[in-house]
Amino acid sequence: MVRRKLGRSELEVSPLCFGGNVFGWTINEDTSFKILDHFIAAGGNFIDTADVYSKWASGNQGGESETILGKWLKQRGNREQVVIATKVGNDLGIKGKGLSRKYIQQAVEDSLQRLQTDYIDLYQSHIDDESIPLEETLETYGELISQGKVRVIGASNYSAYLELKSYNSLIVTFLLYRYVYKAT
């Protein structure tokens, strides 16, 4: 399967991204592994999940999809060949929600542990969080990039207004990352 650049990042992904929200919800671990094996065998390399998947299913608390994906990555030993996208911010009940520095810092550690990896290729804000200044969220992402925990950031399910509003903040954060975080 042909690979293409994801936006302006260095990530090269298959044109199809496998959505992992079904792991631990409508399909069990064994079936998830088989489907992932077929996806990779067909040339795919881009897999999407989120910390909240699949909290909505009876008996689940969130993180089930990341956990199954992490087990598969460890068993197959193919982490370097797969591009993992995951998301943060949705309500995980007692575990919290949002895009504050404190929450993101804890959430990324939890995701890394569940995914059994030391980095996330694409880390995305899953929702708008107007209670937190966008600069705080973006600065936190910049720190995670400089620490090597995250390669690229993105946004999912953002309103058009916040997308436009975030443009100026993104430029500021990029400049901070480029001139401050990269320099240290």
Alpha-carbon gap, residue 155 to 61, rounded angstroms: 23
Pick the catalytic residue: 53, 103, 158, 177? Answer: 53
Which SS3 state, helix, strand or coil, does residue 125 take? strand
Establish whether 53 is a catalytic residue: yes
Q: Is 70 left (phi over 0), alpha (psi -120 to 50) or beta?
A: alpha
Q: Which residue reads 């919290």 in tokens?
A: 96
Q: Are 49 and 78 in contact (CB under 8 A)?
A: no
Q: Which residues have a catalytic role annotated?
A: 53
